[in-house]
Structure 1
Amino acid sequence: MGTEDAHDDHEHHLPAVEDWPRGFGEASWWPFVTAAGAAGVYVAAALYILGRGDTSLVSPLAGPAALVASIGLFLVGLYGWVYHAFVSTFWSREANPDSANKLRWGMLAFLGSELATFGALFGYYFYIRAGNWESIFVGIPDLTGSLVIANTTLLILSSVTLHFAHTAIRKDDRRKFLSWLVVTVLLGAVFIAGQIYEYYEFIIHEGFTLTSGFFASAFFGLTGLHGLHVSLGAVLLGVVLVRALAGQYSAERHVSVSTASMYWHFVDVVWIFLVVVLYVGAEVGV
């Protein structure tokens, strides 16, 4: 009886007993590892600022090095968190609709906080722009070129293909699910590459940088924050793709596909708003 109770207790505490750093009971340290990696990005930004200028307080390489280390720690924490919480015991768990709904509502709550973050930044931008209509657009490059049109088209298409993928797995069509998911990840990667190339063109060839004025700081701040969210979304979709290739997901088990889709559609809508307000709005304001 004692041996059987110990075995049941062992099973009850999964995935914590397989976890590293080892948790206690159902608890896990992986969320804290992930949060530490995310917090390290802000530390890296501070070190980068302190390392600039003739009177720098730290080495100029301290900021970039801390950024790389923080991103690595964040990705390791995210991997451990997702793998031990959802992947390792995927098929042994029961398909619980109540738990699935809780995760979906959790994602909606998270997206609500993200909406508040973007809303605050847009509100500040509108406030400054209302009192300084023309002067803030002096010296900006042409923003509404073919690159932003192509990037916007790619991101909208990626939402469409992800919707097709989600619909396919709900019908238990794994072949179409995998095909559309691969296309979505590729479109997201091309969008990120396009935004990096746009930054390269503006900074290197146009001399349009973060310190070029109020609009420049708003432009790089908002588009950079959005790019960070798209990059995180691409990581989430990559995790979903790896799990799909490993044979996971079915018509009854696809909650992480649903939550990743919700996040990706959110960043898509934010990007459209960004294009209208920043790119088109700047052309109208000049």
Structure 2
Amino acid sequence: MSSQQAKAPYYFVPGPSRWPVLAGVSLLITMIGASAWVNSAAWGPELTAIGILSVLVVLYKWFGEAIGESESGLYGERIDLSFRWSMGWFIFSEVMFFAAFFGALFYARTITMPWLGDLDHKILWPDFTAHWGNTGPAGTVESFRTMGPFPIPTINTALLLLSGVTLTISHHALRAGHRTQTAIWLFATVLLGAIFMGFQAYEYYHSYHELNLKLTSGIYGSTFFLLTGFHGFHVTIGAIMLSVVLYRVLKGHFTPEHHFAFEGAAWYWHFVDVVWLGLYIVVYWL
């Protein structure tokens, strides 16, 4: 047990906080702005930007307050256990989030597409071929080429797998009390994540301008961009989390025994790695 946990209260209960209400209001503003934006309202983009900025400010203040409580020794073993359960359930909700998109992809490929290509539907759509990446019944979608696993998706797979290794090395260094090595390997993890996102941005540019593969390219395009896009968003969030942890390491936070913020961010990053492996096989290979 660390010295901070030894002097912590039995169970710390924070006082009334304004941050949950402000977070809810900020998210409501963001959703109203986004809804107006997609419906071509002139004020939609500005309201969306205000909402996103408000969310970021609330998160910065709220997490800063929690960090201050942790560093002042108010968080003991029971709070640490609560955080672990909370992070575990949060990651489980993320698993269900991606399961919905993988389920939509499975339904489209395994059930709907063969059904549209059977003998009964040949009368309605005689030119339709039941292969993945088709242009829809009666050619309702512009022609496009599908995305293969080489070279960028395979490079990105190697980058994420390597980032999992560097993050694990960083964690072991922190547990051993080697703060410099912790920071170096953690920085390497964040850098690998940034390179991953750079390659994905190039992949999107390539798909739009050279393959004519877009979000509007039928069920193939919608599932491709939803799965890869939301995964890229999660990589970005994970990289931000690890960057904050890196900043805290450089500020002298954490001890070998007391560093749940590091562990929680690491759990999230490894979850993102696992999702990518499934996505890499199902979306790019099959």
* TM-score, length-scaled by structure 1: 0.80
Partner of 1:211: 216
Partner of 2:280: 275
Q: How does 1:105-254 map to 2 (within 5 A)?
A: 105-130=85-110, 131-132=112-113, 134-138=130-134, 139-254=144-259
Per the alignment, do residues 177 and 221 of structure 1 end up closer, same or farther by CA in structure 2, a change over 3 Å counting?
same
Q: Give the distance between the partners of 1:235 and 1:186, measured in 2 at CA.
A: 11
Q: Give the distance between the partners of 1:34 and 1:149, measured in 2 at CA.
A: 38
Partner of 1:73: 54
Partner of 2:78: 98
Alpha-carbon shift at residue 38 of structure 1 (Å)? 4.6
SS in 1 for 2:227: helix
Residues 31 and 78 in structure 1, CA contact (< 8 A), matched pair in contact too? no
Match of 1:82 among 63, 67, 74: 63
Output one character per residue of 1:201-222: Cα deviation in whole Å (capped at 9) or x when no partner: 1112322111011010011111
Residues 33 and 47 in structure 2, CA contact (< 8 A), matched pair in contact too? yes
Alpha-carbon shift at residue 37 of structure 1 (Å)? 4.4
Match of 1:26 among 15, 32, 42: 15
Partner of 2:36: 47
Alignment RMSD: 2.3
Per the alignment, do residues 216 and 236 of structure 1 end up closer, same or farther by CA in structure 2, a change over 3 Å counting?
same
Residues 175 and 256 in structure 2, CA contact (< 8 A), matched pair in contact too? yes
Output one character per residue of 1:92-127: Cα deviation in whole Å (capped at 9) or x when no partner: 215622221221111111111111111122112211
Per the alignment, do residues 263 and 39 of structure 1 end up closer, same or farther by CA in structure 2, a change over 3 Å counting?
farther
What 5-or-longer segments of structure 2 have no aligned partner? 1-8, 115-129, 135-143
One-letter code aligned to 1:49: V
Residues 95 and 252 in structure 1, CA contact (< 8 A), matched pair in contact too? no
Alpha-carbon shift at residue 186 of structure 1 (Å)? 0.8
Q: Give the distance between the partners of 2:28 and 2:235, measured in 1 at CA.
A: 18
SS in 1 for 2:71: coil
Per the alignment, do residues 104 and 73 of structure 1 end up closer, same or farther by CA in structure 2, a change over 3 Å counting?
same
Runs of 4+ in 1 over 6 A off after TM superposition: none
Residues 90 and 248 in structure 1, CA contact (< 8 A), matched pair in contact too? no
Per the alignment, do residues 275 and 67 of structure 1 end up closer, same or farther by CA in structure 2, a change over 3 Å counting?
farther
Q: Give the distance between the partners of 1:121 and 1:82, measured in 2 at CA.
A: 30
Alpha-carbon shift at residue 84 of structure 1 (Å)? 0.6
Q: Give the distance between the partners of 2:109 and 2:202, measured in 1 at CA.
A: 27
**Percent of matched pairs sharing the same residue:** 37
Q: Give the distance between the partners of 1:208 and 1:64, measured in 2 at CA.
A: 26
One-letter code aligned to 2:239: A
Partner of 1:21: none
